[in-house]
């Protein structure tokens, strides 16, 4: 039976990298039917909503989506479609594997860590208001329910994937109640996983430790905002945003998207690196049971990167998105 997958090409470089990922997945012989939907400003103009009901219905029906980046206006305008999507579908776990790739220039070799980010609350609840002119209040929501659920997800993931350690990252020395609750839930859940080492670190120290010696870490568990920031820091450890994949996972539905945004500074020039969204597609293929194709795509990608003659500009090369894509397809 053909598996149907919702495709959200997104804004900026989104259609360029999504097009590359789709053609490589097709070349690997996976029989998928892509149901394409728009989100963000285009959807707002066409349908009066940046996250149309039709898009949500498509994902609910198909249970899986591959998503390019969607632009969010800064300091004004509509609420992030990305944040709304994750909350509307209760995609509570954001999984971001940060792994070195041979041939990708970076400061470190052999980095292999997993960022697990809580995806539904924290300062992303969007509860902001002006108390009086010149004074804004932004509410950070942390619940026992969501903190326990994400901690359990991290430990289950660690156990399933043979990982040894989960480190919770927080600022509970200052935010004693909110981050304190997150940490308390983590410690409680950790007792159910005696086979996995559990420890914690204050977020500022964690940033320094990651930059000094990323190889000391295994699975990192973070609230929404710290997880967002540390994912990009992690991308910087292994070659940048052009290479790091991600997934938003709920109990029944998963939306796969790279860590990077719409990269307006390079959009439309055909030079974006499709590696991040391709590796995201590999995660998606494993999720839907297409393990063989996933491994073949991953090894074709790694071969091209390791050879180094076809490389996009963010990795120091001169190749275009389509030259890089064609090289992977030839290698397949």
Give me the residues that bind ligand NAI (CB under 6 A), please.
Answer: 13, 17, 69-72, 82, 241-242, 257, 260-266, 272-273, 276, 314
Question: Are the CB atoms for 151 and 221 separated by under 8 Å?
Answer: yes
Please state, in angstroms and as integers, the Cα–Cα distance from residue 328 to each residue in 13, 78, 99, 307, following that order: 19, 38, 19, 11
Q: Which is nearer to ligand NAI, 94 or 298 (CB)?
A: 94
Closest CB to ligand NAI among residues 291, 318:
318
Min dist CB 39 to ligand NAI, Å, is 9
Distance CA 223, CA 225 (A): 6
Which is nearer to ligand NAI, 298 or 319 (by Cβ)? 319
CB of 149 to ligand NAI, least distance (A): 21
Closest approach of ligand NAI to the CB of residue 17, in Å: 6
For β-strands 64-67 and 32-36, DSSP reports them as unpaired
Tell the smallest beta-carbon distance from residue 95 to ligand NAI (Å): 13
Report the residue number, 29 or 264, with the smaller CB distance to ligand NAI. Answer: 264
Angle 166-93-52 from CA coordinates, rounded to 5°: 165
Q: Which of 56, 43, 32, 81 minimizes the C-alpha distance to 253?
A: 56
Which residue is nearest to ligand NAI, using beta carbons? 261
Task: Give the separation between CA 150 and CA 229, rounded to whole angstroms.
Answer: 18
Residue whose CB is less far from ligand NAI, 185 or 281 = 281
- Distance, CA of 272 to CA of 321 (rounded, Å): 6
Residue 312 C-beta: closest distance to ligand NAI, Å:
6
Give yes or no for a contact between 276 and 260, defined as CB atoms under 8 angstroms apart. yes
Q: Which is nearer to ligand NAI, 206 or 266 (CB)?
A: 266
Q: How far is the CB of 265 from ligand NAI (least distance, A)?
A: 5
Closest distance between ligand NAI and the C-beta of residue 146, in Å?
20
Min dist CB 275 to ligand NAI, Å, is 7
* DSSP-assigned letters across all residues of 285-330: HHHTT-HHHHHHHHHHHHHHHHH-SS-BGGGT--B-HHHHHHHHHH
Report the DSSP pairing between strands 112-118 and 93-99.
antiparallel
Minimum CB–partner distance for residue 259 and ligand NAI (Å): 7
Which is nearer to ligand NAI, 189 or 244 (by Cβ)? 244
End-to-end distance of the chain based on CA atoms, in angstroms?
A: 23
3 state DSSP class of 234: helix
Among 44, 39, 45, 52, which Cα is nearest to 10's? 39
* Cβ distance to ligand NAI smaller for residue 71 or 181: 71
Residue (58 or 178) nearer to ligand NAI, CB: 58
The answer to whether 81 and 19 have CB atoms below 8 angstroms apart is no
């Amino acid at each position: 039976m053909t598996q149907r997958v919702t495709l959200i090409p997104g804004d900026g470089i989104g259609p360029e990298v999504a097009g590359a990922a789709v053609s490589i997945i097709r070349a690997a012989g996976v029989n998928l039917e892509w149901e394409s939907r728009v989100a963000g400003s285009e959807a707002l103009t066409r349908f009066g909503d940046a996250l149309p009901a039709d898009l949500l219905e498509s994902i609910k029906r198909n249970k899986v989506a591959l998503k390019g980046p969607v632009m969010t206006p800064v300091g004004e305008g509509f609420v992030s479609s990305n944040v709304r999507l994750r909350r509307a579908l209760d995609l509570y776990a954001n999984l971001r594997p940060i792994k070195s790739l041979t041939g990708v220039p970076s400061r470190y070799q052999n980095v292999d860590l997993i960022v697990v980010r809580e995806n539904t609350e924290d300062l992303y609840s969007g509860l902001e208001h002006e108390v009086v002119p010149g004074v804004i209040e932004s509410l950070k929501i942390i619940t026992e329910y969501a903190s326990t659920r994400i901690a359990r997800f991290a430990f289950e993931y660690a156990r399933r994937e043979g990982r040894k350690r989960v480190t919770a990252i927080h600022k509970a020395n200052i935010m004693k109640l909110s981050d304190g609750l997150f940490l308390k839930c983590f410690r409680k859940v950790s007792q159910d996983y005696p086979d996995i080492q559990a420890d914690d670190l204050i977020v500022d120290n964690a940033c320094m430790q990651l930059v000094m010696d990323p190889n000391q870490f295994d699975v990192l568990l973070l609230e929404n905002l710290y997880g967002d920031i540390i994912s990009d820091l992690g991308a910087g450890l292994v070659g940048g945003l052009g290479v790091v994949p991600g997934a938003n996972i709920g109990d029944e539905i998963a939306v796969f998207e790279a860590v990077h945004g719409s990269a307006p500074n390079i959009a439309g020039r055909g030079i974006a690196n499709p590696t991040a969204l391709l590796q995201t597609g590999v995660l998606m293929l494993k999720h839907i049971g297409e393990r063989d194709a996933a491994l073949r795509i991953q090894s074709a990608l790694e071969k091209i990167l390791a050879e180094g003659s076809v490389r996009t500009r963010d990795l120091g090369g001169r190749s275009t998105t389509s030259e890089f894509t064609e090289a992977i397809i030839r290698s397949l």
